[in-house]
Structure 1
Amino acid sequence: MAEVGELGLPNAADRRSGRVVVLGATGFVGRHVGGALEQAGYEILAVARHPRKTPASWRFHPMDLVDAGPGALVELIDRERPVAVVNAAGEVWSRTVEGMHRSNRLLVDRLLSALAVSGHRARLVQLGSVHEYAPQPRGVWLTESSPEEPATDYGRTKLHGTRAVLRAVETGAVDAVVLRLSNVIGAGTPRGSLLGQVAAQLLDRAVRGRPAQVRVSPLRSSRDFVDAQDVSWAVVAAVGAADGRGRVVNIASGASQPVRDMVDLLISISGRPARLVELPGTGPRSLPDADWMAVDVSAARTVLGWEPRRTPRDMVEDLWRAAAAGQHDGPAADG
């Protein structure tokens, strides 16, 4: 995987305007976000449970945000005085409800408690998920006013975090904006995701002279996939967006892509002979949401001045290059 610091962010301002604390900075999205913020001129303080390779220009602070309690985070914020805190920590592919409760609910509650009592006011950018919404019928785009009735434990725990953040903004305890991300793809895509697992099988099962057998669950759905670099640019915009306070903003591609097309594209880009086998009950665990998803991003254009720029081919090429280089095993969020 190319260093995250190499990400290109069109029109990003070089503000040199302070420090940003990135929680979950060693995870898939966190690494991309930190790289984008650094390119935009911010100093990065990376916070995560476990030390992993980060750019030499970042400072790293190990902390389990739940076990440490709010006091340790208050001390960190008061000492570092960041302009923003980005919460890229959390769980997507946890096998237990308890794991998602801890990382997606309890962690946010602890973070909000720390920000409320800190003597320094920093903007919080909370990374939520479009899976907080109710699944919509084919042809109905998700918007920020769509019903919030998640169909999964992941969506329910993420929704708790979003609502807690919005309540804290209403009481004046924090300055925050919530970005609800669609399905993020790019360099370092975790193996727990569908495309991450396909890439792993292409690498692990290829036999000289014979095609790799790629086993997946039936590919009948369509999803809105967004590039990790586009997501990172949205976070940069959210840090300084004057109109962002107390807003929920969807970050997505604005289009629905058949999952089969994305898998076929990955196999094509890999250049490896492969046979796709769809077997019910096998392959990576997927979120059991609607068969079709597309997300409206007009609010992101208005509030953040952001719009998606990269194509499905861009994001899948980045995924494959990183996987082929042996840098495919990053966690979904905080490690």
Structure 2
Amino acid sequence: MGERALVTGASGFVGGHVVRTLREHGYRVTASGRRAEALPAGAVHVGDLDDLAHADVPADVVVHCAALSSPWGRWAEFEHANVTGTRKVLEYARRVGARRLVHVSSPGIYAAPRDRLDICEDQVDPSRPMNHYIRSKTQAESLLRAAAADPRNPEVVVLRPRGVVGAGDTGLVPRLLRVHARVGVPVLDGGRGLVDLTAVENVAHAVRLAAEVPGAAGLAFNVTNDDPRPFVELLDQLLTGLGLPLRHRHLPARLVYGVAGVLEAVCAVLPGHPEPPVTRYTVSTITHSQTLDVSRARRVLGYEPLVSLDDALASYASVQRG
């Protein structure tokens, strides 16, 4: 029998793929997620992160995919989901004697309103997070780094996958398509900014390697398809695959960034703190180039993308078109 793994966020896009990949490679997988009906077929369910405190389920490896991911929201919500939630996962992993905890973090922690190319894992400035999500993910990583110094805790490996896409995507591409349907996607400063994306199958592959490679303990790894392309090129490829018109709204980035700042200030004081139509983080993401150096993942994990970016975009379009 293979090793036992518990995967949090298993009812989500990335977590579901991780469950399937680990099972295909002989792991006995237990799934933790908010929506039992959305779990991969046949998965054993133990509830969500709050249920882990009393879960009597053994695990050799714990993979933490669960997170609140959004460019907007209240700090208390992000802190509870991403910082307190990570602490609960660590406590569970320690209690059951897991040998390793693989934490799926975010390269959003590198975000800045400027171009950044070939970013290495140690090029993080935690002092100026662009939103509460980034702040919470930075704090979660800090929590785990501190915990790794205690030999009673499991080994920790951190993955930072960039822009995860593929069949079943419920976040990145659907959010883009909603904007396209309403007003057309803003193409800022010509859409020349380079975007790094990652096929979801490659993220799951990297998770398995992070769970198994001895030399990975205590390290963080960037994960992408290592195939950065201009934003407008990726947008047009996606829309063409879906049979949608190439409807762009060409706008100056500086103006839109300023408008986003005003909208954030207004929404922050409105009842319910509604999400602005556009945020400064989103503007920065689609305007400025951000590419990640994946050489550490290649060198230490033996990581190589299994699914091309073209195939990942085509698979999403194929499912959507039926």
Q: How many Å separate the matches in 1 of 2:154 and 2:100?
A: 7
Q: Find 1:104's aligned residue among 73, 82, 96.
A: 82
Kindly state the Cα deviation for residue 233 of structure 1 after the two structures are TM-superposed: 0.3
Q: TM-score, normalised by structure 1?
A: 0.78
User: Larger helix proportion, structure 1 or 2?
Assistant: 2
Alpha-carbon RMSD across the aligned residues, in angstroms, is 2.5
Structure 1 residue aligned with 2:135: 156
1:136 touches 1:293 (CA, 8 Å); kept in 2?
Answer: no
Distance, in Å, in 1 between the alignment partners of 2:278 and 2:25 is: 36
* Higher RCO structure (Cα 8 Å, ≥6 apart): 1
**Of the candidates 208, 221, 228, which is equivalent to residue 200 of structure 2?**
228
The amino acid of 2:220's aligned partner reads V
Identity of aligned residues (%): 25
SS in 1 for 2:139: helix
**8 Å contact kept, 1:81–1:122:** no
Residue 215 of structure 1: aligned partner: 184
Q: Residues 30-65 of structure 1: CA distance to partner in whole angstroms, max 9, x if unpaired?
A: 1111111111111221111222233332112223x2
1:44 aligns with 2:29: yes
Deviates more, 1:36-45 or 1:266-275: 266-275
Is 1:259 the counterpart of 2:231? The answer is yes
Q: How does 1:276-315 map to 2 (within 5 A)?
A: 276-278=248-250, 280=256, 287-289=282-284, 291-315=288-312
| Contact 2:97–2:154 under 8 Å retained in 1 | no
Asked if the contact 2:57–2:96 (Cα under 8 Å) also holds between the matched residues in 1, the reply is: no
CA positional deviation for 1:97: 2.6
Q: 2: CA distance between counterparts of 1:198 and 1:287?
A: 11
Q: Distance in 2 between matches of 1:36 and 1:313?
A: 21
2:158 is aligned to 178
Q: Which amino acid aligns with 2:185?
A: V
Instruction: Pick the aligned partner of 2:108 from 122, 126, 131.
Output: 131
Q: Cα distance 1:255–1:249, how it changes in 2: closer, same or farther (>3 A)?
A: same
Q: Give, in whole Å, the separation in 2 of the partners of 1:80 and 1:31.
A: 19
Residue aligned with 1:37, SS: helix
- Separation (CA, whole Å) in 2 of partners of 1:287 and 1:200: 14
Note the C-alpha offset of 1:139.
6.0
| TM-score, normalised by the number of residues in structure 2 | 0.81
The equivalent position to 1:81 in structure 2, one of 50, 58, 64, is: 58
CA contact (8 A) 2:90 2:101 kept: no
Matched, 1:18 2:3: yes
Partner of 1:272: 244
Separation (CA, whole Å) in 2 of partners of 1:137 and 1:216: 20
Distance in structure 2 (CA, Å) of the matches to 1:81 and 1:225: 34
Q: Which has the higher mean CA deviation after the structures are superposed, 89-98 or 277-286?
A: 277-286
C-alpha separation in 2, matches of 1:95 and 1:217: 22
> Which amino acid is the alignment partner of residue 13 of structure 2?
F
Distance 1:110 1:61 in 2: 14
1:169/1:265 CA distance change after superposition, 3 Å: same
Structure 1 contact 23–87 (Cα < 8 Å) conserved: yes
Rounded Cα–Cα distance in structure 2 between residues aligned with 1:200 and 1:322: 17
- Going from structure 1 to structure 2, the CA distance change for 1:121 and 1:272 (only over 3 Å counts) comes to closer
Work out whether residues 201 and 306 of structure 2, in 8 Å CA contact, stay in contact via their aligned partners in 1: no
Deviations 1:79-120 (A, max 9, x none): 33212111110011253333222211110122223333x142
* Alpha-carbon distance between aligned partners in 2 of 1:320 and 1:200, rounded to the nearest angstrom: 15
Of residues 40, 49, 53 in structure 2, which corresponds to 1:55? 40
The superposition leaves residues 304-330 of structure 1 with CA deviations (integer Å, 9 ceiling, x where unpaired) of 1112243321121122223334xxxxx
Cα 1:307/1:148, change in 2 over 3 Å: farther
Unaligned runs of 5+ in 1: 1-15, 206-212, 326-335
Structure 2: segments with no counterpart, 5+ residues: 261-275
C-alpha displacement of 1:154: 1.6
Deviation at 1:283, TM superposition (A): 6.2
Q: How many residues align?
A: 290
